[in-house]
Amino acid sequence: MHNKISCFLPVAEPADLKQTIDELKAVDLVDGIYVMITPGSKGAELPEGVDSFEVPALNSTQMVKEIAKRGETSTHVLLYTKSLPLKLGALSLERMVQAAEYTGAGMIYSDYFALKEGKMIQNPVIDYQDGSLRDDFNFGSLLFFPSEAVKEAAGKMKADYKFAGLYDLRLKVSQNLKLFRLPEFLYTEMETDTRKSGEKIFDYVDPKNREVQIEMEVACTEHLKAIGGYLKPEFEEVKFDESDFPVEASVVVPVRNRAKTIEDAVRSVFNQNTSFKFNLIIVDNHSDDGTTEILKKLAGEDNRLIHVIPDRKDLGIGGCWNMAIMNESCGKFAIQLDSDDLYADDSVVQTIVDAFYEQNCAMVIGSYQMVNFKLEEIPPGLIDHKEWTPDNGRNNALRINGLGAPRAFYTPVLREIRVPNVSYGEDYAVGLAISRDYQIGRIYQSLYMCRRWDDNSDASLDIAKMNNHNLYKDRVRTMELWARIAKNKK
């Protein structure tokens, strides 16, 4: 059979749909065009030679199975996931066919241009790897498959997902075939979500998306079982028998240039009421905005503040954490506080330490409230990561992009693992590693006020920085996934 492509796209406004269809019809390789109609959507008058069919929901299992059935007559399947107009680059589909033939990949995707507020912006994506398990991985809106790969994956689908069908498809394809990125800008898509990066990062824990997240967890867990990466809910016991610590707990704060917020953070620690001794270790990473002077003043007020300035100048947040936990003043438990945030009340440190003993865990993660600089609640409000369950939390942790806050650790375990010397994802990497062997305890009440403001490190990232962050977390997930597969083989 000569190369032919069956194209599938969602129903859209008539003018937008016509523009996309005209783009596809101009490509000689296109063998058929199908418009997917969802309940409640307005039917569009379709040009001659364009078919339509109904699906219960976009991204559903039924959508994938209908695509597999209708795509059998062609060698390849093209799925466009947006309803706004698509603009193809010169010979872009021909290039995708070529890439599929050269690589034997089960899916091809590429970089693209984003038309954003009237400007054409390059939008590179990142390479897929074994640990790219998050359901919000950005492939762009144009997904290209060999028809046989879709048919084989659809045949393995047992669950009937309303939201996770497309996610399930790429997981199943990835079990036997590569997902290959072409680092070429092959098409232009309309960008409709113009929010800053800091406004997008909590979408996946927004309560209104809970039903979607449950399905994604089920699909990911099924995938982990298929590839040998699933961990049963069996954990090593934590005995808490190491006693050579000067205090029961240390609050750890890495800081650089937070003169506006550091005193609030420190005083929220000074105000803690506990039944045991605790201290505060602040690793001041060569601040030059007045933060150092503020900390010296506060240390003079209260000798529980241990003010550490590293000799080295190559430390990220993770490196500062390592300095704190290896410090002779560090307590049995090390509790996180970010330098621009503060504890919700005076019982947080006590609540966290109690949770270690009650839940027999090597790490505790609390919940936090999103607030502005005036400490007024902002959407999505409480971030409680309820997707973490005792039975499946550590498996689901490979799918989500963060584990929550505030985080606390049994110091001997953290000293053994250490923290990666980076300033993004270091906490996630440690949490994954700990959860491989130990239970992670959870506190679902708000312990922490997370201030969102323009100086947050992730408030407004360009595409290159966002890609670097996502690539790093995917790499961390890949390392952890491989370690879990090896653990299971033993």
Q: Torsions phi, psi of 209, nearest 5? A: -100, 10
Q: pLDDT band for 457, please (50, 70, 90 cuts).
A: low
Q: pLDDT band for 117, please (50, 70, 90 cuts).
A: confident
Distance CA 319, CA 315 (A): 5
Q: Are 303 and 411 in contact (CB under 8 A)?
A: no
Please report the pLDDT score of residue 390 as a whole number: 84
Please report the pLDDT score of residue 460 as a whole number: 56
Has residue 207 got a pLDDT over 80? no
Please report the pLDDT score of residue 200 as a whole number: 43
Please report the pLDDT score of residue 242 as a whole number: 83
Amino acid type, 80: Y
Tell me the mean pLDDT in the region 182-192.
89
Amino acid type, 351: T
Please report the pLDDT score of residue 388 as a whole number: 81
Please report the pLDDT score of residue 455 as a whole number: 62
Tell me the mean pLDDT in the region 237-242.
92
Tell me the mean pLDDT in the region 464-477.
97
Distance CA 332, CA 240 (A): 8
Has residue 197 got a pLDDT over 50? no
Tell me the mean pLDDT in the region 21-44.
90
Report which of residues 47 and 454 the model is more confident about: 47
Report which of residues 170 and 389 the model is more confident about: 170
Q: For 137-154, write each residue's pLDDT tens digit.
A: 999 999 999 999 999 999
Report which of residues 455 and 240 the model is more confident about: 240
Q: For 84-116, write each residue's pLDDT tens digit.
A: 999 999 999 999 999 999 999 999 999 999 998
Distance CA 230, CA 239 (A): 25
Topology given in CATH for the domain delimited by 5-194 = Spore Coat Polysaccharide Biosynthesis Protein SpsA; Chain A (3.90.550)
Percentage of the chain exceeding pLDDT 90: 86
Has residue 459 got a pLDDT over 80? no
Has residue 193 got a pLDDT over 50? no
Q: For 324-359, write each residue's pLDDT tens digit.
A: 999 999 999 999 999 999 999 999 999 999 999 999
Annotated domain spans of the chain:
5-194, 249-489
Topology given in CATH for the domain delimited by 249-489 = Spore Coat Polysaccharide Biosynthesis Protein SpsA; Chain A (3.90.550)
Instruction: Say how many residues make up the chain.
Output: 490
Q: For 55-92, write each residue's pLDDT tens digit.
A: 999 999 999 999 999 999 999 999 999 999 999 999 99
Distance CA 409, CA 425 (A): 16
Has residue 49 got a pLDDT over 90? no
Q: Which residue in this structure is represented by tokens 């299992």?
A: 61
Mean pLDDT of all residues in the chain?
93
Three-class DSSP labels, the chain: CCCCEEEEEECCCHHHHHHHHHHHHCCCCEEEEEEEECCCCCCCCCCCCEEEEECCCCCCHHHHHHHHHHHHHCCEEEEECCCCCEEECCCHHHHHHHHHHHHCCCEEEEEEEEEECCEEEEECCCCCCCCCCCCCCCCCCEEEEEHHHHHHHHHHCCCCCCCCHHHHHHHHHHCCCCEEEEEEEEEEEECCCCCCHHHHCCHHHCHHHHHHHHHHHHHHHHHHHHHCCCCCCCCCCCCCCCCCCCCCEEEEEEECCCCCCHHHHHHHHHCCCCCCCEEEEEEECCCCCCHHHHHHHHHHHCCCEEEECCCCCCCCHHHHHHHHHHCCCCCCEEEECCCCCEECCCCHHHHHHHHHHHHCCCEEEEEEEEECCCCCEEEEEEECCCCCCCCCHHHHCCCCCCCCCCEEEEHHHHHHHCCCCCCCCHHHHHHHHHHCCCCEEEEEEEEEEEECCCCCCCCCCCHHHHHHHHHHHHHHHHHHHHHHHHHHHC
Torsion angle defined by CA atoms of residues 91, 92, 94 and 100, in that order, rounded to the nearest 10 degrees:
160
Tell me the mean pLDDT in the region 182-206.
66
Q: Torsions phi, psi of 363, nearest 5? A: -150, 140
Distance CA 438, CA 432 (A): 10
Please report the pLDDT score of residue 192 as a whole number: 56
Q: For 249-283, write each residue's pLDDT tens digit.
A: 999 999 999 999 999 999 999 999 999 999 999 99
Please report the pLDDT score of residue 243 as a whole number: 82
Q: Are 265 and 340 in contact (CB under 8 A)?
A: yes
Amino acid type, 372: N
Report which of residues 206 and 7 the model is more confident about: 7
- Do 5-194 and 249-489 have matching folds? yes
